[in-house]
Structure 1
Amino acid sequence: MSGASWDDLAPRLASGAAMVAVGLGAVWLGGLWFHALIGLICGLMVWELVRMLDTGRTRSAQLLALVAGAAVVIAIELPASFALPLLLLPSMVGLSRMEQGGATYAVFTALILLAGYGMMALRDDFGLLWMLWLVLVVVVTDIAGYFAGRLIGGPKLWPRVSPKKTWSGATAGWLGAALVGLAFAGATDAGIGLMGISVAVSMASQIGDIGESAIKRRAGVKDSSALIPGHGGLLDRFDGMLGAALFIVIAGQIVGFPPGLQ
């Protein structure tokens, strides 16, 4: 392998370490620190989304990013009944600013903000432990899928949109998530049903990943942006977490969360 192939290794490692440090610090501190980080991330993801869908709309991207970031930070401080319309407001505002991709923007922005709200609510309501559970499920899904996909290979999951993802990688991700669920079920009073929820969260994170890949394929871009040296954009790094967090918002209304502790 030539030396040039490793040219981006240093910035990739440095930016990755910085992301981990900032993320873990904010998760640990919780409260306003975590809310501020989620608001910033949601705003920047909306900025990336607008730039991918409607090229050249720089001022609109900036405005909608500001509206989205502010909306999610304010929403978590309000009763849920008032938070919900605020979380959908950036989608409505964007419809009047977008010349292309308005419908995709509106739907995906709503998902981004609901996921951000879900992560803040999970940290606020259930504490550090369950936020770490969510992160571990997503990370293990990604790592297990990466290695199984390359070592085992086999049929592709959706080759037209994401040619590198395989059924073997997806299945390995589910198994890894189930083990995380089993470990947390044993370490807490949560029931064994946490294994099933963990697998479903794993599937949701994979759907989030593939959904973002579909948007990039439609936009004809490799990365959502170049915000993170060696990693692409925030949507590239947090697409799986978006799907997982959004699923928790929905599933929590159906099965109660955490299972066995309600």
Structure 2
Amino acid sequence: MQQELKLRILSGVILAVIVLLATWYGGVAFSLLSALIGLLIYYEWSTITRLATEQPVANAIGWVGQVAIAVAVVAGTFRYSLLLLSLFFLVAVGFVLVSKTSRWFPTGMMYAGLTGIALSSIRGADSVGLVAMLFVFAVVWATDILAYFVGRAIGGPKLAPKISPGKTWSGAIGGVVSAVIAGSLVTYFAFPQSVVFVAPIAFILSICSQAGDLFESFIKRRFGVKDSSRLIPGHGGIMDRVDGLIFACFAAFLLAGLFSLIKGGEMTSLGAALFGV
């Protein structure tokens, strides 16, 4: 047990260093990380939902799509990556409509493909993108950590007993409150004038982060697996570690698009939308 704990801590520290270094450098470094995360998520998704073994043709097409999206993400061609995601998602939907292909196929295409696109889009290549990504990390990590400790300390009614019996409403509320505080602190040190505006954004992202956690729990329970994979020693799989981050990034990406529509201009970055720069 002690050896397993040491392995868990060591792999966790190594992962944190890699992610934070890539976040600091941004540009191609973070785009590569984003693309890799997207590809690994599709690998785990196709394994969990049995696409890889039961529907190899559909899965092969899915891999072609995910690789194409990953290349577009690394190349920094935002519009092409979205176009490719839309195209292969429609192809996947078509497979479902004309054959016995599982409905988890198009869901997995969107889940994995949009993850890489959203992550890369939030970070971008400038200092504003760095703060925006750190803001999202702070919200997600604060939500995850404080929800666990507050839930253990206070207990009370279960949040979703049929999906994740350990989660409580007290933990969920504690996670949201801590996320708003953490997100506001990150913003205060970089763009103090935007603190009031980002608080409700942190609130929304925290709720989405917890929804992402519950979604992955539902998927694993649905297919009877404990971990999404064994890619990370002592931790399980990539999806086990980034489930909350995925939904938070989806929400941040969509909010940036919404802000762009309101302003009537081209797609702006989350950082520009949040901090008014």
TM normalised by structure 1 equals: 0.88
Q: Report how many aligned residue pairs link the two structures.
A: 256
Q: Sort the Cα spacing of 1:26 and 1:255 in 2 relative to 1 into closer, same or farther, 3 A.
A: same
Residue among 201, 205, 222 paired with 1:201: 205
Q: Paired residue for 2:276? A: 261
SS across alignment from 1:17 = helix
Contact persistence 2:85–2:113 (CA under 8 A): yes
Worse overlay, 30-39 or 6-15: 6-15
Residue among 158, 161, 172 paired with 1:159: 161
Residue among 218, 224, 231 paired with 1:220: 224
Q: Paired residue for 1:192? A: 196
Q: Paired residue for 2:179? A: 177
Q: How does 1:87-98 map to 2 (within 5 A)?
A: 87-92=85-90, 96=95
Q: Sort the Cα spacing of 1:100 and 1:173 in 2 relative to 1 into closer, same or farther, 3 A.
A: farther
Q: Paired residue for 2:114? A: 114
Which whole-Å deviations, capped at 9, do the CAs of 1:5-55 have from their partners, x for residues lacking one?
334112111211111111111111111111111111110110100111116
- How far apart, CA to CA, are the structure 2 residues paired with 1:56 and 1:225? 14
- How far apart, CA to CA, are the structure 2 residues paired with 1:49 and 1:94? 14
Higher helix content, 1 or 2: 2
In the TM superposition, structure 1's runs of 4+ consecutive aligned residues that sit over 4 Å from their partners are 58-63, 92-97
Worse overlay, 187-196 or 102-111: 102-111
Residue among 14, 18, 23 paired with 1:22: 18
Contact persistence 1:161–1:217 (CA under 8 A): yes
User: AA paired with 1:238?
Assistant: V
Worse overlay, 86-95 or 136-145: 86-95
Structure 2 runs not aligned, ≥5 long: 261-269
SS across alignment from 1:259 = helix
User: AA paired with 1:74?
Assistant: A
The sequence identity of aligned pairs, in percent, is 34
Which whole-Å deviations, capped at 9, do the CAs of 1:82-104 have from their partners, x for residues lacking one?
4322123444555659x987322
User: AA paired with 1:102?
Assistant: S
Give yes or no for the alignment of 1:133 onto 2:135. yes
Structure 1 runs not aligned, ≥5 long: none
User: AA paired with 1:47?
Assistant: Y
Q: Sort the Cα spacing of 1:120 and 1:260 in 2 relative to 1 into closer, same or farther, 3 A.
A: closer
Contact persistence 2:23–2:30 (CA under 8 A): yes
Which whole-Å deviations, capped at 9, do the CAs of 1:161-207 have from their partners, x for residues lacking one?
11111111110111011112332443313140210100100011111
Which whole-Å deviations, capped at 9, do the CAs of 1:113-139 have from their partners, x for residues lacking one?
223212211111632111111111100
Q: Sort the Cα spacing of 1:100 and 1:229 in 2 relative to 1 into closer, same or farther, 3 A.
A: farther
- How far apart, CA to CA, are the structure 1 residues paired with 2:233 and 2:91? 31
- How far apart, CA to CA, are the structure 1 residues paired with 2:114 and 2:78? 14
- How far apart, CA to CA, are the structure 1 residues paired with 2:10 and 2:275? 40
Contact persistence 2:131–2:186 (CA under 8 A): no
SS across alignment from 1:57 = helix
SS across alignment from 2:162 = coil
Give yes or no for the alignment of 1:211 onto 2:211. no
CA-CA distance at 1:252 after TM superposition? 1.5
TM normalised by structure 2 equals: 0.83
Contact persistence 1:111–1:246 (CA under 8 A): no
Worse overlay, 65-74 or 41-50: 65-74
